[in-house]
Structure 1
Amino acid sequence: MHQILVYADSLSWGLIPDSRERLPFEDRWPGVMEAELVKRGLSIRVIEDCLNGRRTVFEDPFKPGRNGLVGLEQRIEINSPLRLVILMLGTNDFQSTHQHNAWHSAQGMAALVDAIRRAPIEPGMPVPEILIVAPPAFQTPKGTIAPKFLGAKEKSVSLAAAYEAVARERGCGFFDAGIVITTSSVDGVHLDAEQHGILGHALAETVARQLERD
């Protein structure tokens, strides 16, 4: 069985836009991806580690534990053996509490890749492959989260290109979610159920090719 760890934030946790509710597993993109891969005859287990508000490597000044770098190596050790780690982070790097741009977030993503590769794993277990997924671009933030993401659309310009460069430099897979989905028109940040479905199927295709190639 291939184990795949999804290390991500609220876009993958399944937060329903402008609410505190969560989509069920079968409607979240990791669940959709798992079901599609199983349908293709692959033996797959998707492990979700998705935390609302998680950054790449930055601290949340109001909520502890949102720095994605802290504890990542232990999560790799806990869940080993892993065939693949999917990283879909960056959205929260552009909250109004930060003045980061795409370059800063990309450097954070590079640090996460390096941490995964130096994680302590038992002898004989593989160092997992890594797939970097760039989240879709912001629309204008709306609703209750609008103050939190004020200016995010402008600060995050060229994020996908910056992530693709990191993936190329670090020898990782790359997928630009913005090619197939958009953020919700409800809040401008999160994903509607339909977008989760589209992304899950698209990533299943990408992951299946990776697994079959190796």
Structure 2
Amino acid sequence: MDQMLVYADSLSWGIIPDSRQRLAFEQRWPGVFEHNLQARGQNVRVIENCLNGRRSVWEDPFKAGRNGAEGLAQVIEMHSPLKLVLLMLGTNDFQRTHDNNAWLSAQGVARLIQIIRQAPIEPDMPIPEILLIAPPVITHPQGQIAGKFSGAEQRCIGLSEALRQVAQEQATRFFDANQVIHASPVDGIHLDAPAHRLLGEALAEEVTTRYNK
């Protein structure tokens, strides 16, 4: 059985926009992704490590443990052997508590790629491949999270291209979620259930095409 790890934030955790509720596993994109791969005859297990508010490398001044770099090496060690790590972070780097731009966020994600590759896995375990996923752009933050993400739609401009550049520099696969989905109009940040389905299906196609030759 191949194991694949999703390392991400609330967009992948499956928070229902403008609520504190969560979509069921089969509705959120990691579950859709797993189901679609299995339907294609692949013996695969998708492991979710998705945390609401997770940044790339920055701390949340109000909640502990949101720095994505902290403990990442141990997560890779814990779940090895891993065939693939799907990395989709960056959205929370633009919360109002940070004065980040796209370049800075992408450099944070680049650091996570380095940590994954340098994780202290057992000697005979493979270093997992990485699929870097650019999250959908922030549109107009609304509802419960409007204050937290005030101005984020401006600070995040150019993130997809900055992440694409990082993927090239790090020799990592890249997928732009903006090709298939958009942030929910309900809150301008998270994903509606149909977007989860589309993303999971698209990623299953991407992985089948590129990683199973």
After TM superposition, the score normalised by the length of structure 1 is 0.99
Offset of residue 146 of structure 1: 0.1
**Paired residue secondary structure (2:175):** strand
The answer for the alignment partner of 1:180 in structure 2 is: 180
Offset of residue 210 of structure 1: 2.5
- Paired with 1:179 and 1:138, the residues of 2 have a C-alpha distance of 14
- Paired with 2:141 and 2:169, the residues of 1 have a C-alpha distance of 32
Deviations 1:122-145 (A, max 9, x none): 121100000000000111000010
The answer for the alignment partner of 1:5 in structure 2 is: 5
Q: Is residue 133 of structure 1 aligned with residue 133 of structure 2?
A: yes
The answer for the alignment partner of 2:123 in structure 1 is: 123
- Paired with 1:107 and 1:123, the residues of 2 have a C-alpha distance of 28
Offset of residue 69 of structure 1: 0.2
Deviations 1:6-45 (A, max 9, x none): 0000000000000000000000000000000000001110
Q: For 1:70-89, what aligned pairs fall within 5 Å after superposition?
A: 70-89=70-89
Offset of residue 209 of structure 1: 1.6
- Paired with 2:210 and 2:6, the residues of 1 have a C-alpha distance of 16
The answer for the alignment partner of 2:61 in structure 1 is: 61
Gaps spanning 5+ residues in structure 2: where? none
- Paired with 1:16 and 1:154, the residues of 2 have a C-alpha distance of 23
Q: Is residue 209 of structure 1 aligned with residue 209 of structure 2?
A: yes
**Paired residue secondary structure (1:27):** coil
Offset of residue 211 of structure 1: 2.4
**Paired residue secondary structure (2:48):** strand
Identity %: 62
- Paired with 2:58 and 2:65, the residues of 1 have a C-alpha distance of 10
- Paired with 1:146 and 1:178, the residues of 2 have a C-alpha distance of 21
- Paired with 2:68 and 2:49, the residues of 1 have a C-alpha distance of 11
Amino acid at match of 2:118: R
Amino acid at match of 1:193: A
The answer for the alignment partner of 1:38 in structure 2 is: 38
**Paired residue secondary structure (2:212):** helix
- Paired with 2:211 and 2:123, the residues of 1 have a C-alpha distance of 22
After TM superposition, the score normalised by the length of structure 2 is 0.99
The RMSD of aligned alpha carbons is: 0.5
Offset of residue 212 of structure 1: 1.4
The answer for the alignment partner of 1:24 in structure 2 is: 24
Q: For 1:185-196, what aligned pairs fall within 5 Å after superposition?
A: 185-196=185-196
- Paired with 2:38 and 2:171, the residues of 1 have a C-alpha distance of 27
Deviations 1:44-85 (A, max 9, x none): 100000000000000001001000000000000000000000
- Paired with 1:113 and 1:189, the residues of 2 have a C-alpha distance of 24
- Paired with 1:197 and 1:136, the residues of 2 have a C-alpha distance of 14
- Paired with 2:67 and 2:11, the residues of 1 have a C-alpha distance of 16
